Amino acid sequence: MSKVQAFTPREIVSELDRYIVGQHKAKRAIAIALRNRFRRQRVPAELREEIAPKNIIMIGPTGVGKTELARRLAKLAQAPFVKVEATKFTEVGYVGRDVESIVRDLVEQAVELVRKEQLEEVRARAAQQAEERLVRLLARPTPPPEPAPSQAGQQPFNPFGFMLPKQHSEPHIPESELQEVRKRLRAGELEERSVDVDVDEPGPSMPMVSMFGGPGMEDMERKLGEVLGNLPGMKGQTRRRSLRVAEARRVLEEQEAGRLVDMDTVKRLAVERTEQSGIVFLDEIDKVASRGGQHGPDVSREGVQRDLLPIVEGSTVSTKYGPVRTDHVLFIAAGAFHVSKVSDLIPELQGRFPVRVELESLSKQDFVRILTEPKNALTRQYQALLRTEGVELTFTEDAIESLASYAAEANERAENIGARRLHTIMEALLDDLSFRASELTEREVTIDGARVKATLEPIMQSEDLSKYIL
């Protein structure tokens, strides 16, 4: 388990409060689900396999924080996480994309997650080895020029020479000379020098792998890609490039770290991390709920539900890293459920989501908090962006109140898109300032309530403008 095991449900909720305003019930539900994973690891082995995750359905309008809750939870748990739209599986006729691709994407996320962790563990050793290689490259005498074509022709021709790495003899360099170069390198005296470094180049792309369509073809595409990728000339080659010392150091550190990381261990840990800690966020689940009869698009919707059912229930999916079981993957589904209801889902799927949480619509006071409290508040984002132009932006309290009022009013008059309305309001307010920021002579700009009203009131008064701008 990751370091999240030290977090109690109350601490998890507190951490989520730093980024998401309100929705206490939803935060409690996912905090309990996450803590139960830690508890399950401490249960005796014979019972551990029997404890299934308590999957969650979050019900609420768009823009209230459903996706952000799941994303922040996965980041907090250091767990593999994928977000998929349930409607993606209905795009091609009655059956769209293969639902097993969810698990394959999840494993890919886990491999990348574990690989980064392993790279961090060997970073210090990789830096030492990269420095040693860099010292030898700097101390190495200039290599002799390539033989002329006439001379090269005297050598026996090898038709498979492109598959063999070029052999470079390593000249002997006295230790005293290496020590002197190492000293100057650490003192930063050689940063502007250039060295020749062998850089790995990716192989050619294979567009023919994406030519297949239809359900059930993704597995064939994956296997075909693996076979073609192993053919001579398709894996990529090594090319010698002249780089400045600073850039060469970065390239060599990456190469050394890659050599120190055991990819077999990475793959094994990634599969284990996926099975025990993976989180799948199924968005727009209400769009595949059947509403009554079994005809027309409802056939497609119910088909998607039945395809999702084995993955949610627990099955084994074949991936290029080996078989992956989904029995203990946590599924969090979300939807607005304006037209359909949770009870419109097929009973088997309903039963796999025992925890149901209703998220609340956002009020004006929620908007005030969203603009001021979170670590990544929208006002802080705009302040940071304009600070790069040398402009110091300040929002007064009455400006925040006015922005929240206009956002709440726009949501009432048009579609309720929750906190996303704040993005459109802020863009309309700061449009002129963002355009002229690099040309301003004044370095400090204060946004007060009067300025907010002068900018947004004409838009709100015009029905056409408010419809298309806000």
Domain CATH code at residue 397: 1.10.8.60
Number of residues that this document lists for the chain: 470
Residue 204 burial (10 A CB sphere; 0-12, 13-18, 19+): exposed
Q: Are strands 392-395 and 444-447 parallel, antiparallel or unpaired?
A: parallel
Domain count, the chain: 3
Provide the pLDDT for residue 37: 84
Structure tokens at 420: 């996303």
Closest alpha carbon to 466 in 426, 416, 422, 409 = 409
Please give the Cα distance from 230 to 220 (Å, whole number): 16
* Residue 434 maps to a domain: yes
Whole-prediction pTM value? 0.72
pLDDT tens, 207-216?
544 444 444 4
Contact 62, 19 (CB under 8 A): no
Structure tokens at 376: 């990544």
Q: Are residues 400 and 336 in the same domain?
A: no
Task: Supply the CATH number for residue 30's domain.
Answer: 3.40.50.300
Q: Is 437's pLDDT higher than 80? A: yes
Contact 418, 63 (CB under 8 A): yes
- Provide mean pLDDT across the span 142-157: 52
Q: Is 184's pLDDT higher than 60? A: yes
Tell which of 358, 384, 405 closes a domain: 358
* Residue 146 maps to a domain: no
Q: Is 36's pLDDT higher than 80? A: yes
Please give the Cα distance from 123 to 134 (Å, whole number): 16
Q: Are residues 177 and 213 in the same domain?
A: yes
Q: Are residues 39 and 76 in the same domain?
A: yes
Averaged pLDDT of the chain? 78
Tell which of 209, 243, 268 closes a domain: 268
Q: Are residues 349 and 236 in the same domain?
A: no
Structural domain for 430, as ranges:
364-469
Name which residue leads in pLDDT, 416 or 91: 416
Q: Are residues 322 and 341 in the same domain?
A: yes
Tell which of 304, 333, 358 closes a domain: 358
Provide the pLDDT for residue 211: 45
